[in-house]
Amino acid sequence: MKIYRIAKSRPKLVEMSGTLKQTDNGFVYIDVSNDVVDGLFSMVDNDKNDDDLVKPPYNQKKYNQLGAHISVINDDELDDDIKELGEEFYFKLSDVKSTNPEGWDEVKKVYFVEVESPELEKLRQKYDLPKRLNGHQFHITIGVVKS
């Protein structure tokens, strides 16, 4: 999987926060305002003829219409109760990048902003999980190009 830096400019490292939540099937995430995606969407350098670039399809059944979010723990990673649900976690936005996602057949390219959060890494480690989900940097999806 190749990842490219594709933003016109790097966002300033501004500390933000979101609330830790969990879906009925056990997926744990940080709820982020959709305004974050709206603001970052305009930063995508769309000179690569990605005419079909759209905001993420947050209405997928799998995500129970979550809206903008940071994935923290997949539903198949943990059977324990998460005690920190409802707590605020802090993060900083980093680079805007793109990749051709594996396993997301209806999307040929995804644009995302990487997120730095030592708090989320510590949370995962507290539950005996690796610091990062699937070995990837935490991120917020900000746009997709459908197949």
Taking residue 3's Cβ as centre, other Cβ atoms within 10 Å add up to 15
The DSSP line for 119-132 is HHHHHHHHTT--SS
Quick one: CA dihedral 38, 145, 8, 13, positive or negative? Answer: positive
Give the pairing type, strands 15-22 and 88-99. Answer: antiparallel
Number of folded domains in the chain? 1
Interatomic CA distance for residues 95 and 84, integer angstroms: 27
Residue with tokens 């670039």: 53
What is the pTM assigned to this prediction?
Answer: 0.82
Per-residue pLDDT for the chain (147 aa), expressed as one digit of tens each? 344 455 555 555 667 899 999 988 889 999 998 888 888 887 776 555 556 788 876 645 454 567 889 999 998 998 888 999 999 999 998 888 888 888 778 888 888 999 999 999 999 999 999 999 888 899 999 888 887
The predicted structure's pLDDT at residue 89:
96
Domain that holds residue 73: 3-146
